[in-house]
Amino acid sequence: MRKTIFKKLEAQGLIANYNRLRKNLPPKLPDRVFIWDETFREGIKAPTVYLTYVEQVRLAKLMDEAGVAIINVGFPALSEEEKRTVKRIVNETFTYSKLTASADATKNSVNACLESGIKEITIESPINGLNLQYKLKLTKEQALQRIVESIEYAKKHGTNVSFILMDATRTPLEDILQVFEAAANAGAIRLGVADSVGFIRPLSMRYLMSHIRDGLPDAVKKKATLSIHCHNDFGLGSANTLAAMEEGVSYLHTCIAGFGERAGIAPFEEVVTAAELLYNIDTGIDMGKIYRLAQSAEKAFALPIQFHKPIIGENIFTHEVEEDVEEMMANPLVFEPFPPEIVGRETMIFIGRNTGQTLIQKLLEKAGIRASPRQMDELFRRIKGPQESLDKGEAQMTYYQVKKLLKELLKGYTMDEFWRLVEQVTRQKPKLPRNSKKQQTADQLLS
């Protein structure tokens, strides 16, 4: 139904839909894509979000009901508590979704996943020069060997394995092809490109993914499918995810409301709605559950979703009357991109301070109400009154108090605060200077 709405409008000559022009449909576009949710891996990295087990299970069950293909339930090697949580979720019943858990390319990290009882492990590792020198402190050959051995070790213990190349969009193409071929030959069934710092733009993403696709041997492409994981640092998470999809990538990593570390990753609701309505691609998602899922995540994360957030923001389908209501409601698609019912929303129309007095009088007349000039003045005063009588200074103070409360709720320890805490507990002064590390790193990069 949702896809025929636009076809009918086109057939009647009421709209032009450039998305459906054959020349605008990428030849490698898949017929079906699968949503891979990262809310419990990426979403909880928002400082310092904490989800109770009950909240995690509730969200996971809602994702399962909505049709999410893969749910990453966490990183068991992070702590014993994380491992126990993953183990409990693994023992829950899911109808549709498959569960995976993340691991570094080390035996200990893989063991933590195995001990949690997970049946699919996602091994993550970078391989570019920056990460080899400053994070892994390994040669490229050592890192490759470690990745292969980790995949083989996990496979030997009866699990499916996906491999995600971290910071792939800043990694030389020949190295990406080398590590992907090695990972697939070791047994990985999915190969993921991660734009870990959101540093690529859509046209560049298409270039990269097309060259990865065409550069991999046919034998590798038969063994493993491609996935994409895009961070949103430049606000391009959704655009880059869709660009990768245009080049044939079928597993799309998302997070509810785009939550996550820094600017988060590609928002679930944006990617799904765009794929379904702009590309006419089946995502397997029951779109009517999108808004409910977003509201549940907002409550669990205790992070407010912006009012102007696409698809799920409070303002997206809300309109102040500036013309005849009947004309506005004759076909809401005049002022909305798609029927809000598709994503579990509804159109909200309200009378506000920008609604003209003449229009209000017209509305009353249509309702059979005759108001005197004095009554009209009183009605108009009351409509405009709440905003005009509002003490804006007081409202701003309340806003900043709420913002401060949210910051306190999410607050961890800065490095300076951490070292002060260490000093208080251990009664020992740290040997490294507290503030010189950042400047030292900056000096190294500039030298």
Mean pLDDT, residues 273-298: 96
The tens digit of pLDDT for each residue in 244-278 reads 999 999 999 999 999 998 999 999 999 999 999 99
Amino acid making up residue 232: N
Nearest to 28 by CA among 202, 275, 252, 246: 246
CB count within 10 Å of CB 364 equals 15
Q: What is the DSSP pairing of strand 348-350 with strand 318-320?
A: parallel
The tens digit of pLDDT for each residue in 156-189 reads 999 999 999 999 999 999 999 999 999 999 999 9
Instruction: Spell out the domains of the chain, with CATH numbers in brackets.
Output: 20-301 (3.20.20.70)
Nearest to 92 by CA among 52, 129, 61, 127: 61
pLDDT of residue 360: 81
pTM exceeds cut of 0.85: yes
CA distance 226 to 248: 8
Whether residue 63 has pLDDT greater than 50: yes
User: Picking from 68-72, 100-104, 179-183, 258-262, which range would have the lowest pLDDT averaged per residue?
Assistant: 258-262
